[in-house]
Structure 1
Amino acid sequence: MAHEKNDGLNNDVAVSPSQQNETVFPSRLKRKLKMVPPSLGKLRPTVGQCCMKCTPGSLHGKLGQKSIPSFHNLLSIDNTHARYQGWLVRRISCLLFVSGCKVSSRPSGNRLERIGQSNRVKEVVAVERQAPEGRGVRELTNRLSPYLPLINTSIVPSLVRFVGWLMLKVFASVFDNIQVDLNQLAPLQRASQEGSLLLYVHVRQSLVDCALVPLVLFCHKLAVPYAVCPLQCSSYSLRAILQRVGVLLLPPSLQTEEDAERDSLFSPVMTSLVDELLHEGQPISVGLSAETGRGGQWLAHIAQLLKRGSVTDVTLVPVGISYDRVLDTRTQVGLGVIFQCLWSLIWRKRVGSVRVHFAQPFSLKEMCEGGRWSADEWLPLQDLLLPIILGDRTKSASGQRRMSWLLPSSHRTPDLRELTHLERDLSVAVIRHLAFSLSSCAALMSTSLMSTLLLHRHRKGVKASLLCQDLAWLTTEVLFRNKDVGFQGSLAEIAHHSLSLLAPHLIIAAAPSRKDPFIMARVSPAASVHLSRYAQIVTHTFILEAVGACAVSAMLCEVVSSGVSARVRGGVPDEEEVKGDLEFDVVLCQSELTDRALQLCLLLPPGFQPPCQSSQSFAMDAVDRLVHCGILVIEETPRDVPTCDFWKREGLLTWTTGEDSGHSDSDCEEQEACSYKISQPSQCPEMLFFLCSMLAGHLRALCWTTAALDLLHVPLPEAEFVARIHSHLCDTANKKKQHYESCTKESARTAVRTLIDLGVISEHPQEGGAVSLHVAPRFQLPENRQKLTHFISQYVYN
């Protein structure tokens, strides 16, 4: 564990690493913790089912999965996996296992000729070169020469086996285990036997993801997919090896994925290459960024191929990958970097476990043609929220926020110019649906739960015994929400394992005189960002409760700031004035609370809400969740007459004849709006504040970004604009010496994008695909910026 002698908690404590386990969890504490085991039964939740609304045919079809998981450790390879027995077999069991895995040879053939003859590639080359007809073939070949290694990417069985054996050895020295549910692989085997075109989609976390998905499929006798990897490899020999095991790299002339989007030929070549791979029946693996949607352009291209009839159907397979600790990797590597990383990994302590979940496959054709991918009309965010912010409207409009920026803009990627408005919305809906599915099927690791508790519930520190009890409680809550966890064992072992992995970012104070060690997160940018990164998946799990809690907090803040009685009905305060301390007896109107939740959910980043659910329904579910978890209770309205007499008086129980067509027993009047009260008002509801804190980082970054608009007076390129916002967020956090999780680069980009959608920041395309940003004239006025800050800050829990 990490301990400090001058941390302000215990000035005379210094513990050696060999004493860590007994120091944090002494024997007397372990005996106590055995009485509070987490609720981990043999039957785990069934995760990864496809959407019941968008793809009901896939949900109830023959691609269904079993409900009882059977986990297999990918790294546990012994002589039972080989066909022979003996001492030597036990020593080379991994090599024998890999040699027995079947891999079909898939050469590129005349793929270059077919891609060169595609219309999309010929049109781009004709526009760029303006070559005469006699020199067209030669000019086309010269123009495609930088993409020749990319086009000729193939799969060589002997090289795949060698790389697979090497990766198993490397991962065995890095991870404790890699768990895979065998029952989730059965639908993939059936789909592969039926000749379905499989597209595996995973969330981008590190470059390890690109290796894990093909490795798992290879070890379980499934076809190795071609992996789209946005990696720039500087070594020619390493690039040649990767391109012989099916890795689609960036061309040597393009350094980043942003450069690839601006290149006029990269997108047509990649689209034609994906088309050729699908026609060959090859599976493909793609990484998707849930925050920016990067990688989703290939989903849009595949949807276009489906519409044109180039392919009959594509089966999408979301893959949820969960780490105890995510390995930080680079986007540009060479042989020297590879050897340096391998050397450090071999001599470094293992970084915990990995859980890989293959969600239920579903049909992209069914999703696109069904028309059920959207429940509301997609409107610009400024049309939905700006009138409310500026006081021109009091109620939220019906609709969902349009996030067209999840796809590269047409001036950056010319190949997407042919998409109509509806087709672009459809592609964005597929990206959003996959981002939500990926977060839903991923298992929650112990480090994520521990990070959530230390960052959002016990930011000022907590005793070890209480932290373990909260870990057991949070594990139970996660399982109740049909989310799987990637750990098992006694509570003390789970807590010690997670704390040991998070140790560099924690302060642990322990002394012989104390029965319980004291644990808290370090107040530093690195610690806050690290813990926030792992806690994000828990926020996805509790998003409904978090949105509802922030809506309740906003209404309570309004009540407190109004200076009138705390008892409110229908949003109208009584005339009684407050004298002395505020009496915590608040009645919240259902319609007002739902409207606050609706406004907040429109500010959420993608991945938190499925596009096939209406925003109104999402907001109502958020309020209902608070009732289910006991934060809100429905207020009982006293009546002068019993309920049965009321129903009889209204005539709802009157018998009618069948000839009376003007009246039906099922007819009912509009349901009365109910009210809610906060349970246990005498005690400050800790659960409410815990849920509010989950969204505080994102909302606080929005507030700080709004305050930074005063410093930006001239139009700036997008990259420089975001960099200045990020610098302001870091300066604000350093000045406050807290809330460092709100000053990441991802927070700055997300905040700027939200303000662009709100119409606060205007964007103007420039030459070469660049974009310049500046503050809109309406929000150059201080009073409008103040209204915007007030609207966002009402949801921020302090």
Structure 2
Amino acid sequence: MTGVLTRDNSAEGYVGFIMVQQLNYESNRDVVIPTTNQQKRPALSWALRNVPVPLLCKFRPIVGQCCQQCTPDSLSHHRKKFGQNPSLGFHNILNINEIHTRYRGWLVRRLCCLLFVSGCRVDPSPVNSRQERVCQSNRVREALTADRRAPEGGDSQGQLQPLSSFPCIINTCISPSLLRCVGWLMIKMFSSVFGSIQVNLNHLTALHRATDEGSLLVYVYVRQSIMDSTLLSLALFCNNLRVPYTIFPVRINNSFLRWILQKIGVILLPPSAATEQDAEMDRLYSPIMTCLVSELLHEGQALSVGVSAESGQGGQWLARIRQLIKEGSVPDITVVPVGISYEYVPEMHMQVGWLLRWLSSLLYRKPEGIVRINFSQPFSLKEMCESWRFRVVKWRPLQDLLLPVIFDNRTESDFGQRKMSWLLPSPNAPGSKEPTNQDEDFSITIIVHLIFSAISCMAVMSTSLLSSLLLFRHRKGVSISVLCRDVAWLTEELLFRNKDVGFTGSLTDVVHYSLALLAPHLIIAAVPSRKDPLVVPRPTLAASLHLNQQAHIVTHTFILEAVGACAVSAMLYEVAGSGVSSEVRSDSRDGEEVKGDLEFDVVLLQSELTERALQLCHLLPPGFIPPCQSSQSFALDAIDSLVRCGILIMEEVPKDNPICDFWKREGALTWTTSDDPYQSDSDCEEPDFCSYKVSQPSRCPDMLFFLCRMLAGHLRTLYWTTSFLDHLHTPLPEAVFVTQLSSHLCDTANKKKEHYESCSQETALAAVRTLIDLGVLMEEQREEGVFMGVTSLFKLPANRQKVQRFISKYLYN
């Protein structure tokens, strides 16, 4: 098959691309109609109108179980109370009626929300002498002694003067009356924003059990929106669970808003700090926050921490909790990863003026989208720290793993896990204690594990499923009938991988409902020559970024297949660049290579495929690969997943010498002792010589390219960032560097008129972190701040081109 690596130039995709230039958003709105109006829907084949979504009724996959390798005791402890009663279903916390109160009647039906909130459980939150205990702790006293602002030989009042900006944070509390008032306001506000907020009741049973046992709960979620912590606290409040103290590192200047948030348990940044990084520069901030966390846990309070996989923010809070367990200040912590999935994420900021305008806009808008909150199975952090079961391999710098491959001076294969030290920023304050390498690796492993666990228990929403199909498979347009068939196929694949989905109903209802939510980012056009309308993603920056954000959870589910597909693409790219085929003829004694064009009829060695997949794993951001699994094992699973999908076919390659011909080896057979732990039953046997061929069915190329496009956005950002260094001659301040990089990414996408998903701030930040770890970029600490520049090794254009060639072979074009 010649020319199979070219893009699909079908008439359907071409017409859809032309319609992009001809239609506008107003015509699109007339086509997309909510699912309740059946008569105005776009035409659809009768064979698909009543096809149900492939779900087994209410019996959904049990997601969110804790790791069997890292915490087996916690898994067995909560197994009987976690996800074993599928009849409980889901609870919409916005749907409150008189059934949820102790009263009945006409007046109750109108005041049911107020009565429900007043009857919710609120645990006491004492703050008596908390400030005194924090200030008198040894950790804070040592920090005050080392602080230059503390007067030498002064009294206690003089020593406490440097703490004048922290009492408002230390005295953060939860006022029951104010919490109920804010809870009622949040229910009313979210009722105008979202269609429903669903909580899996099967997961709440284990949380109630842990609460009854007196466990100290810490909820960990991945930051996606400014509403994450509010939704989590509201879900716990409406289900009579302890409302946690929320670590919310955002600068808020309005004093009234700060007072309100601090009275409902929100821990804010100091007023003098603009960002969390600025707050960490103060040598008193870290010891005071560590003591505050310790005091809250001693009081029996719960905590909620948001972690960012791109910037690493929030990781230091988990490191502080782990440090308290190591010191023995806290006996144990029960960690609960939380997955929050959005169908529609509204933009929201924390300025008073903007909040008032946003609240007024809710009066004339309809609620859009569903939010699904899944609580993972609780597990003991002490068990994870003491067992050491999750330490598969030692963390290694990315330079040691990839630079020998890039410069082609490697002597042997290097295996290890990429060390991402930026997930745990080192203390920037002068005089701060640097953590040891062992403690740092330990904390980074826990952070990566929690990021992976929180993402794994997220449900795939209908808009995420549709976004992945439109962005990765049908960029040039697709008819609604074909889209419905792909939705049914992809839903079955998600359920097969034990991934929960946040939708149900008939197939057409799901598709039309999702198209209505994604309408501002799509063009739906009726073509006279076709019965079904065409759906085309808008070729704009906002549309591509929104679809890419929604499709992230699908990429996370298919990460094994995506890594394997990119490894196959890299080998085909190398074969195409060399102009030869890697097929070995059986009648050639010396392994003669066959000249010719690139075809799919090539032999791909398992060792080479695994090596390409292993190298690609090191370029991925945190959260994709389980930290309790080695990169080599993950790469092997990635190749095996393509065999299960039918993309690769295992093939035997003939050898010159048979495996059983032992006498041609050098030396005689050797015997080993019976107590040798590394003894094998076949010490004289050579390893299996396994190879693969790409299958030839017509759907295989589409499936292969669909998987390759899942990682293309991240790899393309990495490639464009490397090309941006050609225009960088002197070190720049970090803020200026990121601004110029964002402009370069947008300009490059505008020139190509596509690939706008590679311009997001998250992917750009991840690319910068990867290049820093790779040794291409360096961070220089100056008095003015952090400066970014190119290292001396990569100031040579030839070395930068080697990095670009290494990345481009994984990038599907």
Map of 2:808 onto structure 1? 793
Q: Quick check: 1:174 aligned with 2:193?
A: yes
Map of 1:476 onto structure 2? 492
- After superposition, what is the alpha-carbon deviation per residue over 1:487-512, rounded to whole angstroms, capped at 9, x for unaligned? 11111111111111111111110256
Q: Quick check: 1:333 aligned with 2:346?
A: no
Letter in 1 for 2:472: H
Distance 2:404 2:312 in 1: 28
Q: 1:428 aligns with which of 444, 447, 457?
A: 444
Contact 2:131 2:170 in 1 (8 A): yes
Distance 1:74 1:413, change over 3 A: farther
Contact 1:44 1:68 in 2 (8 A): no
Map of 1:450 onto structure 2? 466
Distance 1:45 1:224 in 2: 28
* C-alpha deviation, 1:615, in angstroms: 0.6
Q: How does 1:344-363 map to 2 (within 5 A)?
A: 344-363=361-380
Distance 1:712 1:62 in 2: 54
Map of 1:784 onto structure 2? 799
Distance 1:280 1:554, change over 3 A: same
Letter in 2 for 1:396: S
Q: Quick check: 1:775 aligned with 2:790?
A: yes
* C-alpha deviation, 1:723, in angstroms: 2.3
Letter in 2 for 1:51: C
Map of 1:372 onto structure 2? 389
Letter in 1 for 2:542: A
Map of 1:399 onto structure 2? 416
- After superposition, what is the alpha-carbon deviation per residue over 1:118-140, rounded to whole angstroms, capped at 9, x for unaligned? 23323333333454566342224
Q: 1:555 aligns with which of 565, 568, 571?
A: 571
- After superposition, what is the alpha-carbon deviation per residue over 1:129-162, rounded to whole angstroms, capped at 9, x for unaligned? 4545663422243322222211111111111111
* C-alpha deviation, 1:639, in angstroms: 9.8
Contact 1:693 1:797 in 2 (8 A): yes
Map of 2:13 onto structure 1? none
Q: 1:696 aligns with which of 712, 717, 722?
A: 712
Contact 1:565 1:573 in 2 (8 A): no
* C-alpha deviation, 1:265, in angstroms: 2.3
Map of 1:229 onto structure 2? 248
Distance 2:165 2:654 in 1: 78
TM-score by length of 1: 0.92
- After superposition, what is the alpha-carbon deviation per residue over 1:192-241, rounded to whole angstroms, capped at 9, x for unaligned? 11111110111111121111111111111111111111222232222212
Distance 1:532 1:126 in 2: 50
Residue 306 of structure 1 aligns to a residue whose secondary structure is: helix
Residue 166 of structure 2 aligns to a residue whose secondary structure is: helix
Map of 2:669 onto structure 1? none
Distance 2:44 2:776 in 1: 58
Map of 2:33 onto structure 1? 20
TM-score by length of 2: 0.90
Letter in 1 for 2:534: F
Distance 1:421 1:7, change over 3 A: closer
Contact 1:228 1:285 in 2 (8 A): yes
- After superposition, what is the alpha-carbon deviation per residue over 1:598-622, rounded to whole angstroms, capped at 9, x for unaligned? 0000111011112111110000000
Deviates more, 1:93-102 or 1:404-413: 404-413
Letter in 2 for 1:544: L
Map of 1:605 onto structure 2? 621
- Point out where structure 2 has 5 or more consecutive residues left out of the alignment: 1-15, 665-673
Q: Quick check: 1:213 aligned with 2:232?
A: yes
Map of 1:274 onto structure 2? 293
Contact 2:43 2:533 in 1 (8 A): no
Contact 2:580 2:598 in 1 (8 A): no
* C-alpha deviation, 1:718, in angstroms: 2.3
Map of 1:622 onto structure 2? 638
Distance 1:266 1:140, change over 3 A: same
Residue 235 of structure 2 aligns to a residue whose secondary structure is: helix
Map of 1:653 onto structure 2? none
Distance 2:17 2:409 in 1: 55
Distance 1:708 1:230 in 2: 31
- After superposition, what is the alpha-carbon deviation per residue over 1:506-556, rounded to whole angstroms, capped at 9, x for unaligned? 111025664100011011111111111111111110001000000000001
Map of 1:592 onto structure 2? 608
Letter in 1 for 2:426: S
Q: Quick check: 1:304 aligned with 2:323?
A: yes
* C-alpha deviation, 1:75, in angstroms: 1.2
Distance 1:414 1:677, change over 3 A: farther
Distance 1:307 1:343, change over 3 A: same
Distance 1:4 1:399 in 2: 44
Map of 2:83 onto structure 1? 66
Contact 2:32 2:41 in 1 (8 A): no
Residue 516 of structure 1 aligns to a residue whose secondary structure is: coil
RMSD: 3.0
Distance 1:723 1:665, change over 3 A: closer
- After superposition, what is the alpha-carbon deviation per residue over 1:733-782, rounded to whole angstroms, capped at 9, x for unaligned? 111111111122222211111111111112222237x3222211111112
Residue 218 of structure 2 aligns to a residue whose secondary structure is: strand
Deviates more, 1:314-323 or 1:178-187: 178-187
Contact 1:569 1:588 in 2 (8 A): no
Distance 2:608 2:183 in 1: 57
Map of 2:402 onto structure 1? 385
Distance 1:135 1:785, change over 3 A: same
* C-alpha deviation, 1:566, in angstroms: 4.9
Distance 1:697 1:625 in 2: 22
Distance 1:628 1:4 in 2: 34
Residue 109 of structure 1 aligns to a residue whose secondary structure is: coil
Residue 357 of structure 2 aligns to a residue whose secondary structure is: helix
- After superposition, what is the alpha-carbon deviation per residue over 1:354-401, rounded to whole angstroms, capped at 9, x for unaligned? 100000011111111111222112111001110110010165301111
Contact 2:28 2:519 in 1 (8 A): no
Distance 1:214 1:573, change over 3 A: farther
Contact 1:30 1:492 in 2 (8 A): no
Distance 2:656 2:729 in 1: 63
Map of 1:262 onto structure 2? 281
Residue 451 of structure 1 aligns to a residue whose secondary structure is: helix
Map of 2:722 onto structure 1? 706
Contact 1:547 1:597 in 2 (8 A): yes
**Percent identical:** 58
Map of 2:509 onto structure 1? 493
Distance 2:601 2:445 in 1: 43
Distance 2:791 2:325 in 1: 40
Distance 1:376 1:406 in 2: 18
- After superposition, what is the alpha-carbon deviation per residue over 1:592-645, rounded to whole angstroms, capped at 9, x for unaligned? 1000000000111011112111110000000000001111111145799999xx
Residue 153 of structure 1 aligns to a residue whose secondary structure is: coil
Distance 2:323 2:637 in 1: 34
Distance 1:728 1:501 in 2: 31
Distance 1:741 1:583, change over 3 A: closer
Map of 1:137 onto structure 2? 156
Contact 1:381 1:402 in 2 (8 A): yes
* C-alpha deviation, 1:105, in angstroms: 2.3
Map of 2:10 onto structure 1? none
Contact 1:478 1:484 in 2 (8 A): yes
* C-alpha deviation, 1:117, in angstroms: 1.1
Distance 2:387 2:502 in 1: 35
Q: Quick check: 1:293 aligned with 2:312?
A: yes
Map of 2:426 onto structure 1? 409
Distance 1:118 1:301, change over 3 A: same
Distance 2:644 2:18 in 1: 45
- After superposition, what is the alpha-carbon deviation per residue over 1:548-574, rounded to whole angstroms, capped at 9, x for unaligned? 00000000111111112352589x995
* C-alpha deviation, 1:461, in angstroms: 0.6
Map of 2:738 onto structure 1? 722
State the number of aligned residues.
780
